Amino acid sequence: MDGGDAYGVLESQYIRRHHRHQPRENQCTSALVKHIKAPVHLVWSLVRRFDQPQRYKPFISRCVVNGDLGIGSVREVNVKSGLPATTSRERLEFLDDEEHILGIKIVGGDHRLKNYSSIITVHPEIIDERPGTMVIESFVVDVPEGNTREETCYFTSTLIACNLKSLADVSERMAVQDRAEPINGF
Ligand code: A8S
Output the CA 182–ligand 1 centroid distance in Å. Answer: 38
Atom of ligand 1 minimally distant from the CA of 106: 19
Strands 60-65 and 74-79: antiparallel
Report domain extents, the chain: 4-49+96-185
* CATH fold of the domain at 4-49+96-185: Alpha-D-Glucose-1,6-Bisphosphate; Chain A, domain 4 (3.30.530)
**Are 106 and 142 spatial neighbours (Cβ–Cβ below 8 Å)?**
no
Q: Which protein residue's CA is at the shortest distance from atom 1 of ligand 1?
A: 160
- Of 26, 24, 33, the residue nearest 3 (C-alpha): 33
pLDDT grade for 3, boundaries at 50, 70 and 90? very low
Instruction: Specify the 3-state DSSP secondary structure of 142.
Output: strand
pLDDT digits (tens, 9 = 90+) for 74-86: 999 999 999 999 9
pLDDT tier for residue 55 given thresholds of 50, 70 and 90: very high
Instruction: Please say whether the beta carbons of 113 and 106 come within 8 A.
Output: yes
